[in-house]
Amino acid sequence: MQTTWILLLASLGLSTLAGTEKGLEFPRYDGKDRVLDINEKNYRKALKKYDMLCLFYHAPPPTAKELQKQLQMTELVLELAAQVLEEKDIGFGIVDSQKDAKVAKKLGLHEEGSIYVFKEDRVIEFDGLLAADTLVEFLLDLMEDPVEIIDNAQELRAFDRMEEDIKLIGFFKSRDSEHYLAFQEAAEQFQPFIKFFATFEKSVAKELTLKMNEVDFYEPFMEEPVTISDKPHSEEELVAFIILKEVARDNTHNPDLSIVWIDPDNFPLLIPYWEKTFKVDLFRPQIGVVNVTDADSVWLEIPDDDELPSPEELENWIEDVLSGKVNTEDDDDDDDEDDDDDDDDDDDDDDDDDDDDDDDDHGGDDDDDDDDDDDDE
């Protein structure tokens, strides 16, 4: 759509283009207050009123003039974004970490200076440049469907030209397919940071060499994708794979760390051994670090299968392991105690066996004596 408009304007000549320059400029703030001061009395109403609610969580207003000006500039960014998106169903507000501490706790706001976007049952943290155009683009991306459908060759060419983005594409039977629905739910967790695409057309799937319910993962500027093995995929499997890929990409040049994706279903004979060695339940998602020297391991606690760690949380945990804050040998003492218990049990068993042997010997002697007595008689 953007290309069409640019060509149209160019064909109208310089006089017409000069008249449109004003329309191409980013608008100026009109002075109207649109950003809400969120508090205990109005936060529920704001959440219900808008499809998306964008909140800036800030520290109490500073006394230093320079810092006051910085806060005012941030509020101006929000006001300008609210003005541009006034026709959209997006609300904007600010939350004071001290004055509105109860509200912040209820909403799960924890990092001062951050912008949080509430959309349905999700909370997305904006981590881009705090500028009006960047924020507007981010929010508009969030309004789009989490999965973009590719139906024809022209859309496929546009997909191929997106070289700088991480993207996934899957081939599914229909929009009602349970595998597509799982793919869509995974897409919602990464929107708008990672692009998800899908096709229901055999001709498109053939060009991409995709089989039914198969998903390909493209890294930036990589021509050949990685096919996520063992289709079809649940939402949890897709989310876990993407998280690991992001962390692996960030640690490409780390010589002390290799990140491997393993599907235990491919190694059914090894499942009992792995579960015994690493003391994990392989029927649930597991993320761990293994010391290749002595096979010591430590595993990330995942209390809920639906709440897998974010790439940032996983990367912080891995850094703690590599730095020694989390030690792969912390559980060795427990293992030694278990081994000692096993040894004690073995000793007890040996003693019992010796007693049984003694009883058998005594019993045998008595029988022999009885036989001798019978012979004497």
**E-state strands within 114-159:** 114-119, 122-126, 147-149
Q: Are residues 115 and 71 in the same domain?
A: yes
Among 158-162, 224-228, 348-352, the least confident range: 348-352
Calpha distance 238→236 (Å, rounded): 6
Q: Does residue 30 lie within any of the structural domains?
A: yes
Q: Single out the residue in 212, 233, 254 at which a domain terminates.
A: 233
Q: Are residues 134 and 167 in the same domain?
A: no
Total count of domains within the chain: 2
- Please compute the mean of the pLDDT values over residues 221-238 and round it to a whole number: 77
Higher pLDDT, 125 or 11: 125
- Please compute the mean of the pLDDT values over residues 314-319 and round it to a whole number: 81
- Residue 358: what residue type? D
Q: Does residue 54 lie within any of the structural domains?
A: yes
Higher pLDDT, 140 or 292: 140
DSSP assigned state of 340: H
From first CA to last CA, the distance across the chain in angstroms is 119
Q: Which residues pair with 124 in a beta bridge?
A: 117
Q: Are residues 183 and 95 in the same domain?
A: no
pLDDT, residue 166, reads 87
CATH code, domain carrying 220: 3.40.30.10
Among 59-63, 84-88, 189-193, 264-268, the least confident range: 264-268
pLDDT, residue 14, reads 34
pTM of model > 0.75: no
Q: Does residue 329 lie within any of the structural domains?
A: no
Q: Which domain holds residue 228?
A: 147-233
Q: Are residues 135 and 151 in the same domain?
A: no
Flag whether pLDDT at 235 surpasses 70.
yes
Calpha distance 6→1 (Å, rounded): 9
Q: Single out the residue in 143, 163, 191 at which a domain terminates.
A: 143
For 53-65, write each residue's pLDDT tens digit: 999 999 998 888 8
Q: Are residues 55 and 127 in the same domain?
A: yes
210 contact partners, CB below 8 Å, separation of at least 6: 169, 170, 171, 199, 216
Q: Are residues 69 and 169 in the same domain?
A: no
For 170-216, write each residue's pLDDT tens digit: 999 999 999 999 999 999 988 888 899 999 999 999 999 999 999 99
Q: Are residues 130 and 48 in the same domain?
A: yes
Q: Does residue 111 lie within any of the structural domains?
A: yes
Q: Are residues 220 and 128 in the same domain?
A: no
Q: What percent of the chain has pLDDT over 90?
A: 41
pLDDT, residue 2, reads 38
> What value does the mean pLDDT of the chain take?
79
214: exposed, middle or buried (Cβ count in 10 Å: 0-12, 13-18, 19+): buried
Calpha distance 171→191 (Å, rounded): 19
Flag whether pLDDT at 224 surpasses 90.
no
Q: Does residue 249 lie within any of the structural domains?
A: no
Q: Are residues 50 and 126 in the same domain?
A: yes
Q: Are residues 107 and 65 in the same domain?
A: yes
Exposure pattern of 135-166 as b/e (b: 16+ CB <10 Å)? bbebbeebeeebbbebeeeebbeebeeeeeeb
Give Rg (Cα) of the chain. Answer: 32
Q: Single out the residue in 179, 210, 233 at which a domain terminates.
A: 233
